[in-house]
Structure 1
Amino acid sequence: MSVPSTDPMIGRLIDGRYQVRSRIARGGMATVYLATDLRLERRVAIKIMHGHLADDSAFKIRFIQEARSAARLAHPNVVNVFDQGQDADMAYLVMEYLPGITLRDLLKDYGRLTPEQTLDILEAVLSGLAAAHKAGIVHRDVKPENVLLADDGRIKISDFGLARAVNNNTATGQALLGTIAYLSPELVTRGVADARSDIYALGIMTFEMLTGEQPYVGEAPMQIAYQHANDTVPVPSSKVDSIPRELDELVLWATARDPEDRPRDARVMLDQLHDVSALVRGGTQELALQSTMVLPSSRRAGANAIADAETQVFGAKLATTSPPAATLLGIHPVGTGPVGPPDSGELLGKKADKRKRRGFWLFALVILIAATLGGTGWYFGSGPGSDVMLPDFASASPEAASAKLSELGLQPELGGAFSATVAEGIVIGTDPHAGSRVPQDSPVTIIVSQGLQPITLPTLAGLTQEAASTLITDLNAAVGSIDPIFNGDVPEGTVMAASKETDGADLSAGGEYFEGLTVNLVVSLGAIPNVDGKTVAEATDILVGKNLLAISGEQTYNDTVQEGDVITAQVPEGTIREGATLVLVISRGPEPVQVPTNIIGKSWTEAKPILEATGLKLEYNGFADTPGASNFFKVATLDPGEGELVLPSEPLRIGFTA
């Protein structure tokens, strides 16, 4: 069953030149595809800006900035940029295609690296950064994801999407850029970055390569940023005892909180790295190349002195010994050299024997040449040499692969397989695989991509985020964006909704999808914490712990909440996500009551109902309430007086006169 490709870019011809073959990766600003440059007939990586960002001038400028920044660098440790342009509404960037893995992938597979491996990667990355810093470019996003390890052994730094010129290095008025785990203290506190900020990020990356973990961890990005700004990075040997002291000092130098205490740029750190590398490696490579020979302990030792000789290391030139000088001069010890003229008969016999031996060797040589020629003819005619080596047809069309196999004397057969990386209708490979040798006229299966493998997702809403992610990945799909929102009706960590990456269609109740595609999840953060009755400081701490912001709002009277405490937190309308701002309503305490006027001189019978209606605590001589006395007694004094404000908790004292 043939399944159509769900990515509209697959197979598209961009700018009349670049034929898109398959998708490589997807990022926050753009998607990277494998494409063929039809003009130069080479494979390239093409980065295409997301459509919803195309109308945002700031994003477009940043996208073009990446092209200009990287294009200014011509260095073997920086990914080359070939072209940049606009096709209709698409902004694109054409880069060097490097099949391989990232440093992040290597760390996931191996945990941590050896000091020697770390030094090799550091040298390559610092070389690329040194070229960038020399050109006045700050990378601003140094992290393992942006270090590429090619299959042919090359190490390159990529993704200058956040790069800026050194003379334009402030982030005022915009969000901090870069990954929070590698942000320098000055970027966190002041939004300022220069070449020393790249050095700090590289120091954090070095710590991670040596120990397999990042120095700072936290449940929220704000916590990690706080540690970068206020803590000192620990030495790697505190995690792994075997790490050399020289690497500890290199990490501490690169991650100093004060930029003035760090290397001023990558070239300075690279020069120091060479010295550190020599100390860590200990010169063992040079030692291994030297020759070992045995010398007697004394120049005048006799023939038996070799048994007592000492072993010493010398350079390769000294390893070759020369004949004794006496022998070179023709002087032989007694009994070992010629002592008189040789006999003539003996000389003739030796010459005859030499001619016989020469004839035998000439005959043997003729036989050997004949056998070699015959064996060569058999090997390439009907032996193993007649086999055909299969070319690599990956990313070719089935028609082109079939034609080439027929040309090589093989029998092409078509087969199919689902693929998450190769577009439908494009060749994945062959069976036997490329590079194999097969006899002529052998059948070879051309494996053609059928596109993505269909899958059926189960109901995801109501599962925990971990359970939903496991189900998705077990079906060979991918978990995309996680959108955490506050919801008091759904427990924290529970999936509220799921959707397709391709068109946003709802997958909350499961449904048909394809392997390799991404499922986006909406996950509940639980209810917003109740801060009623808390102090402002307590309420702020509680909300910040949930990644919410709190600001003080209006103050109002309240009979139950103490003055200065929070009556309630006003929640914005709509969906509430992390980072939302809640307004705290502050209590002014109970509202004061005004003492009624025109009470003085009234009889207690007339005044009492009026005063009781205020809700104030009345203090007076109870004798005034006896039968007959209420009309007899008149109000003479009020404390506080008429018209004054009194808190409900304070008494109103009443004096009478007959």
Structure 2
Amino acid sequence: MQADRRGQSRAGAEARVDHDPLTGRTLDGRYRLTSRIARGGMAGVYEATDLRLDRTVAVKVMHSGMGGGDGEFAARFVREARAAARLSHPNVVAVYDQGEDSGSPYLVMELVPGHTLRDTITSQSPMAPRRALAVLEPVLAALAAAHRAGLVHRDVKPENVLISDEGAIKVADFGLAKAVTADTQHTSTGVLIGTVSYIAPEIVTEGRADARADVYAAGVVLYELLTGRKPHEGETPIQVAYKHVHEDVPPPSRLVPGLPAYVDALVARATAREPGLRPADAGVMLRQAQRVASALAAGMSEDGELTADLALPPRVSPDTRQLWAEDTSHSTRAVQRPAPAPAPAPAPAPVRLAAPPRRRRRGPLAVVLAVLLVAALGAGAWWFGYARYTSTPGVLGLTQQAATTRLKAAGLDVAVGAPAYSDTVKAGRVLRTDPSGGDRVLDGGTVTLTLSKGAEQYQLPDLAGKTVDQAQDALLAIKMTYGKAVPKWSDTVPQGQVIRSDPAAGTTLRPGTPVDVWVSRGRQPVTVTDWSGKDADAAKAALQKAGLKVETTGQYDDRVPAGRVISQSPDTGTLYKGDTVSLVVSRGPELVEVPRVTGHGIGSATDDLRAAGFKVQVEHYSPFFGLGFVMKQDHAGDMLPKGSTIKVWIS
């Protein structure tokens, strides 16, 4: 990340005025933020010290609240940071680390002391073409590396191109731009507005971007390097975006006369409004730029072959374009010859004029021949330039069979190209033709039909069991929008895996439809409460309500009343739903039948009662004394707790 020293001083002063709460703070106990370098709508950039490795780095901290309440932005930020960290290229600002502190995601990057390309454009443009391409080539090399890795920058602009004090050129914010754009490209204050001067038309009209959108932005940067001005300007961002969609980027030679035609062609090719006409990725544009640079280095003011290779093709089919070029070449020569014919046509005549009589006889003949020659040439021009052509019949909306019948009736051949999606034309019907209806086409020429595949729709795959990253990749593969992650406890799905999606798997959706996913938090933890000494029924009900299983066993206890919990296992700690808690429930004291000892001798009676677990209290029964027999007892045959006292009366 760039760190302009004067900018840092200004940022430091601004921080003091704004009382930036992050300055001086240490993130995750490792990155001490020393001064703010820059502040944008999405994040602030700080110069920081990595306390662990003792090096100076740049830290981009997202403003609080950007991630939303459900952590969706933070998750996307992490995913894009991982993608950016995969890039290892000398022209890419390196990503060292990523984390989150107090709910704010941050990204740790290489610090590049110096300035931005914006500063260079302000002070040095318009640039000579060789100088402009020398600046652009490292940018294209960085973008090419990203495109090979499957990463699209989406926010190519001079502010994201850093130039070190040693002159090294590096591109910053790989991947981060994608994370921000996904949430803000349709807002009035988001990235779309901030980078509208470099935005590709398809982003405005369809909200999509691939490697060719980066190529378009690079072409706009090249135009700005060459001219010192942006190609499209307006009073509002909406006006500028409208021009990107409806107006071609003008040739830079319009503002800088004398630029070679092949330089204009390179800019036109890179900034073609139709993505399919641009270089497929930055690697292709880099090779084209290197060819242009070689021609400039050789001092070639014109290079017809290079200009032709870079020039945008006319909007006709390749076969028709070739025939048109051949016929146009013939007809042009034919038309050009009749115009000067009156002067040069009689040229051979003076050689043959030996005498005035012959000159008088040959003069009218030469005029007639000249007229006939002009007529023949005109007829040839008419034939090659007009008569051989017919208008393409309109067949839009027809079935393939009906369109073929109409075109063949007009003497034309029919070819069928790759089908394309359409929101307005039914599947199987003609979406467009090449040439278009009403355009000229050679008699017997070929008209290529593009049939509609109908509205673009995809069946939502089953995301259950995937990680969040895998689910996001699966949604991106079918052009869906990742909505939000809803955390849910699950006894069956491991933590971090998708439980289900909304809409459900198998639903047919249009591209761009947001899909929410329910993500497992794992098994729900339950804090165990000790129910010892409390009512066993209440304990069992509470534990089962918390999702736990309960096993109970009964046990006699002289001290714990029946129905209460004697002991519990486990009695404290944390369990998970479905785990088991064991309760030992008191049955109260053990009851024993009191033996009948009436009529027994006192010795025998005492032994029997004590053997049964009872205590014995002896009373004397009058009027009989000294016999030693039990005359009466308490609770004979009753069920009493062991340890109870039984009274006996003896004679």
TM-score (structure 2 length as normaliser): 0.41
* Greater relative CO, 1 or 2 (CA 8 Å, sep 6+): 1
Structure number, greater radius of gyration: 2
TM-score (structure 1 length as normaliser): 0.40
